[in-house]
Amino acid sequence: MIRRALLSVWDKSGLVDLATELAAAGVALIASGGTARALADAGLTVQEITDLTGFPEILGGRVKTLHPHVHGALLARGTDAHLGELAEHGIAPVDLVVCNLYPFTQTVADPSVSELDAIEQIDIGGVTLLRAAAKNAERVTVVCEPAGYPELLERMRAGTLDRGARRRLALAAFQHTAAYDAAIATWLGSRVADDDATLPDTTDTTGTAQARLPASLHLAADRVQTLRYGENPHQQAAWYRWRGASPAFELLQGKALSYNNLVDLSAAWQMPQDLDRPCVAIVKHTNPCGMAVGATAVEAFDRALACDPVSAFGSIIATNREVDEAFVTRVGKLFVEVIVAPSFTAEAQALLAKKKRNCRVVLGRAVSPTRVAPTGVVLRSLPDGVLVQTDDGEAPEASFLGRRRAPTEDFAGWRVATQRGPSAQEAEDLAFAWSVVKHIKSNAVVLCAGGATVGVGAGQTSRVGAVDIAARLAGERARGSVLASDAFFPFADGLEAAAAAGVTAVIQPGGSKRDAEVVAAADRLGLAMFMTGTRHFRH
- What confidence tens digit (pLDDT) does each residue in 174-187 have? 999 998 888 888 88
Residue 369 resides in a domain: no
Residue 229 resides in a domain: no
pTM here is: 0.79
Q: Assess whether 519 and 461 both reside in one domain.
A: yes
Of 148, 169, 189, which residue sits at a domain end?
189
Q: Assess whether 326 and 457 both reside in one domain.
A: no
- pLDDT (mean) for 434-445: 92
Residue 57 resides in a domain: yes
Q: What gap in Å lies between CA 336 and CA 323, rounded to an integer? A: 14
Q: Assess whether 21 and 168 both reside in one domain.
A: yes
Residue 198: pLDDT band (50, 70, 90) is very low
Domains held by the chain: number: 3
Residue 219 Cα distances to 228, 420, 509, angstroms: 24, 51, 34
Q: Indicate which residue of 255, 285, 438, 441 is catalytic.
A: 285
**What is the residue range of 443's domain?**
411-531
The answer to whether residue 356 is catalytic is: no
Q: What gap in Å lies between CA 386 and CA 340, rounded to an integer? A: 29
Q: What gap in Å lies between CA 84 and CA 91, rounded to an integer? A: 10
What secondary structure letter does DSSP report for 397? Answer: T
The answer to whether residue 135 is catalytic is: yes
Q: CATH no. for residue 165? A: 3.40.50.1380
Residue 284 resides in a domain: yes
pLDDT digits (tens, 9 = 90+) for 411-432: 557 889 999 999 999 999 999 9
Percent of the chain with pLDDT strictly greater than 70: 89
- pLDDT (mean) for 524-532: 94
Instruction: Name residue 441's amino acid.
Output: K
Q: Indicate which residue of 12, 67, 82, 135 is catalytic.
A: 135
Residue 490 resides in a domain: yes
Q: CATH no. for residue 431? A: 3.40.140.20
Least confident of 72-86, 278-292, 312-326, 359-373: 359-373
- pLDDT (mean) for 147-168: 92
Q: Assess whether 352 and 426 both reside in one domain.
A: no
Percent of the chain with pLDDT strictly greater than 90: 61
Residue 443 resides in a domain: yes
pLDDT digits (tens, 9 = 90+) for 474-523: 999 999 999 999 999 999 999 999 999 999 999 999 999 999 999 999 99
Q: What gap in Å lies between CA 490 and CA 487, rounded to an integer? A: 9
Residue 467 Cα distances to 66, 470, 477, 482, 502, angstroms: 68, 5, 14, 12, 12
Q: Assess whether 351 and 420 both reside in one domain.
A: no
pLDDT of residue 341: 97
- pLDDT (mean) for 278-288: 95
Q: What gap in Å lies between CA 517 and CA 209, rounded to an integer? A: 30
Q: Assess whether 182 and 253 both reside in one domain.
A: no
Starting from the edge strand earliest in sequence, which strands make up the sheet with 445-448, in order?
A: 415-416, 528-531, 505-508, 482-485, 445-448, 453-457
- For residue 79, is it left (φ>0), alpha (ψ between -120 and 50) or beta? beta
Q: Share the mean pLDDT of the chain.
A: 86
Q: Assess whether 359 and 472 both reside in one domain.
A: no
